[in-house]
């Protein structure tokens, strides 16, 4: 648990300033978003063998479907931001996923916001067989 808290603190610190993510390779992640009254971004971090993160960049989730090439050992952070009627920042929330993509597999993240309810679901899609829902979390241990 302490490891997750330290990892989350490092991620949030890195997300405060954003850099556009430079993709390398073929897209292995599809992010589908449905955002009614919110903005969302995907922050990509690399994880090393000691569970330390290195911020790689951010992708704005400004289209209903965004394809992304994620690195082998990744920490993905979906962050949502909402604003009030008068334009002030009303709030933000994020969800994390530690992921080690497997060769030949595809991944999908569903990011939804409606009526003050945030929802993120991650799915692993094998070359054959049934997709499975992945557990969200920043614990890479």
In this prediction, what percent of the chain has a pLDDT beyond 70?
Answer: 82
CATH assignment at residue 53: 2.60.40.180
Q: What is the mean pLDDT of residues 84-93?
A: 64
What tokens appear for 124 in the block? 């692993």
| 139 belongs to a structural domain | no
Binned at pLDDT 50, 70 and 90, residue 51 comes out as: confident
| 92 belongs to a structural domain | yes
pLDDT of 131 higher than 70: yes
In this prediction, what percent of the chain has a pLDDT beyond 90?
Answer: 65
Q: What is the mean pLDDT of residues 98-106?
A: 93
Average pLDDT of the residues of the chain: 85
Nearest to residue 68, comparing CAs of 58, 54, 80, 79?
58
| 105 belongs to a structural domain | yes
Instruction: Please give the pLDDT value at position 14.
Output: 44
| 141 belongs to a structural domain | no
In this predicted model, which residue has the larger pLDDT, 89 or 67? 67
| 125 belongs to a structural domain | yes
Instruction: Please give the pLDDT value at position 75.
Output: 95
Instruction: Please give the pLDDT value at position 141.
Output: 60
pLDDT of 65 higher than 80: yes
Instruction: Please give the pLDDT value at position 17.
Output: 65
Could you list the residue range(s) of the whole structural domain that residue 51 is in?
A: 2-134
Domain count, the chain: 1
Pairwise CA distance, residues 6 & 78, whole Å: 18
| 107 belongs to a structural domain | yes
Q: What is the mean pLDDT of residues 56-65?
A: 96
Nearest to residue 79, comparing CAs of 68, 88, 70, 92?
92
Kind plus residue range of the DSSP H or E element containing 76? strand 74-83
Model confidence, pTM: 0.82
């Amino acid at each position: 648990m302490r490891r997750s808290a330290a990892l989350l603190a490092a991620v949030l610190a890195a997300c405060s300033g954003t850099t556009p993510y430079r993709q390398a390779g073929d897209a292995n992640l599809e992010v589908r978003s449905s955002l009614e009254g919110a903005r969302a971004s995907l922050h990509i971090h690399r994880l090393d063998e000691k569970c330390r993160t290195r911020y790689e960049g951010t992708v704005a989730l400004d289209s209903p479907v965004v394809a992304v090439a994620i690195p082998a050992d990744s920490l993905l952070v979906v962050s949502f931001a909402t604003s009030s009627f008068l334009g002030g920042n009303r709030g933000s929330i994020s969800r994390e996923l530690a992921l080690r993509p497997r060769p030949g597999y595809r991944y999908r993240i569903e990011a939804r916001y409606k009526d003050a309810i945030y929802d993120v679901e991650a799915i692993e899609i094998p070359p054959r067989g049934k997709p499975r829902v992945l557990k969200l979390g920043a614990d890479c241990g």
